[in-house]
Amino acid sequence: MATQTLVTFDQFMDLPEQEGVDRELDEGRVIEMPHPSFLHGAIQGRVFHFFTVYLERTGADFHASLNTGFRLGPETVRAPDVCLVRRSSYAAMEAVKGALLGFPDLAVEIVSPSDTAADMDRKIEQYLRAGAAAVWVFYPETRHVMIRRRSGETRIVTSGQTLEEPELLPGLSILVDHVFSGIEELKK
């Protein structure tokens, strides 16, 4: 069995960019992922759009972003597909070599064909352990969303149901069907 060389945060952040590859650092292990598909990007864009419309409509105290790197631990850097961060938290976060020291309040991940259940569970736990209030995981193949909260609550949201985060985002309601509508034609 081959052993994997662990790297430090500084070594990870100094790795040269590689065309067609995105990277995260999982407790010292470098995780290489292919760039997301068009379908992945379309779902990401829709979720980001719903968040920004909500923020503009309500004036909620959050920033929304895409693919932002967060240093969740000494040797862990994760970049959620979409995230929300309280403005006051963001103002206090230090950026080190392009990664924010801290965590998103809400992290959104979109499952890709290369993601394993074990890897996704690990990533969710890292967000929650670092302090995230919730993680939403979108499953394009089965058109459902799993919501995991720091409180320990897990909820599966499917067709005909709405995504809500009442304690964090009062009044936000996103119909799951609106996120996944028309995705069949985007699969390649």
Q: Scanning the structure block, which residue is given the tokens 């979109």? A: 110
The helices-and-strands tally (H runs, E runs) of the chain is 5, 14
The Cα–Cα gap between 76 and 23 comes to 11
Percent of the residues in the chain that have a pLDDT greater than 90, as a whole number: 81
Instruction: Give the global pTM.
Output: 0.94
The Cα–Cα gap between 143 and 17 comes to 33
The Cα–Cα gap between 179 and 188 comes to 18
Percent of the residues in the chain that have a pLDDT greater than 70, as a whole number: 98
More confident residue, 187 or 42: 42
pLDDT for 98 equals 86
- Check residue 122 and give left, alpha or beta (phi > 0: left; psi -120 to 50: alpha): alpha
pLDDT in tens, 124-167: 999 999 999 999 999 999 999 999 999 999 999 999 999 999 99
Beta bridge mates, 107: 83, 135
Q: Is the pLDDT of residue 30 over 60?
A: yes
pLDDT for 3 equals 59
CA atoms within 13 A on the CB side of 98: 13
Beta bridge mates, 73: 76
- Check residue 76 and give left, alpha or beta (phi > 0: left; psi -120 to 50: alpha): beta
Q: Is the pLDDT of residue 5 over 90?
A: no
pLDDT in tens, 91-116: 999 999 889 999 999 999 999 988 99
pLDDT band with cut points at 50, 70 and 90 for residue 53: very high
The Cα–Cα gap between 156 and 133 comes to 17
Question: Where are the strands (E) in 61-114, listed by range?
Answer: 62-66, 70-73, 76-78, 82-86, 95-96, 99-101, 106-110
pLDDT in tens, 71-83: 999 999 999 999 9
Sorted by where each starts, the structural domains of the chain and their CATH numbers stand as 38-67+80-92+104-186 (3.90.1570.10)
pLDDT for 184 equals 74
Mean of the per-residue pLDDT values for the chain? 93
Judge contact between 41 and 30, C-beta under 8 A: no
Q: Is residue 175 within a helix (H) or strand (E), and if so which, with residue range?
A: strand 169-175
Coil, strand or helix at 17: coil
More confident residue, 113 or 58: 58
Beta bridge mates, 70: 78, 100
